């Protein structure tokens, strides 16, 4: 069975500072990895995904993530955050045999 861990439930960061949101997964087979963002009172929106190929994935709004197979991680990074990045961020995993599983989420709060 696969699972997703997001160790940080809340991450406060000052505006224009860099941020990293951590995601670790467990799966016995090759995985597909996703980061979704949920702004207040909205549905989820895909930021980026890793299916295969280059381990560094670039997404929308200046976010990027790096797939690290040996550490079973897919951490999300942004070099300089804005107030508008305040939201809930969900890491998700799937594989050829199983549906998408969402992690518990990380609440990013950008402080002016």
Residues that bind other proteins (CB under 8 A): 32, 34, 41-46, 49, 51, 90, 94-96, 98-100, 102-105, 107
Q: How far is the CB of 15 from other proteins (least distance, A)?
A: 24
Nearer CB in complex with other proteins: 20/98: 98
Nearer CB in complex with other proteins: 52/112: 52
Q: How far is the CB of 105 from other proteins (least distance, A)?
A: 5
Cα(100)–Cα(112) distance, integer angstroms: 35
Give the other-Cβ count within 10 Å of 92's Cβ.
Answer: 21
Q: How far is the CB of 16 from other proteins (least distance, A)?
A: 27
Q: Pick from 82, 107, 88: which is nearest to 17 by CA?
A: 82
- Burial pattern 50-61, b for ≥16 Cβ within 10 A else e, equals beeeeeebebee
């Amino acid at each position: 069975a696969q699972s997703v861990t997001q160790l940080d439930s809340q991450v406060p960061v000052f505006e224009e500072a860099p941020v990293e949101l951590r995601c670790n997964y467990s799966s016995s087979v090759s995985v597909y990895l996703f980061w979704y963002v949920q702004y207040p009172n909205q549905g989820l929106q895909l930021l980026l995904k890793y299916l295969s190929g280059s381990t560094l994935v670039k997404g929308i709004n200046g976010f990027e993530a790096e797939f690290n197979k040996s550490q079973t991680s897919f951490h999300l990074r942004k070099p300089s955050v804005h107030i508008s990045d305040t939201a809930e961020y969900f890491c998700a995993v799937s594989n050829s045999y199983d549906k998408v599983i969402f992690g518990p989420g990380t609440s990013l709060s950008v402080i002016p």
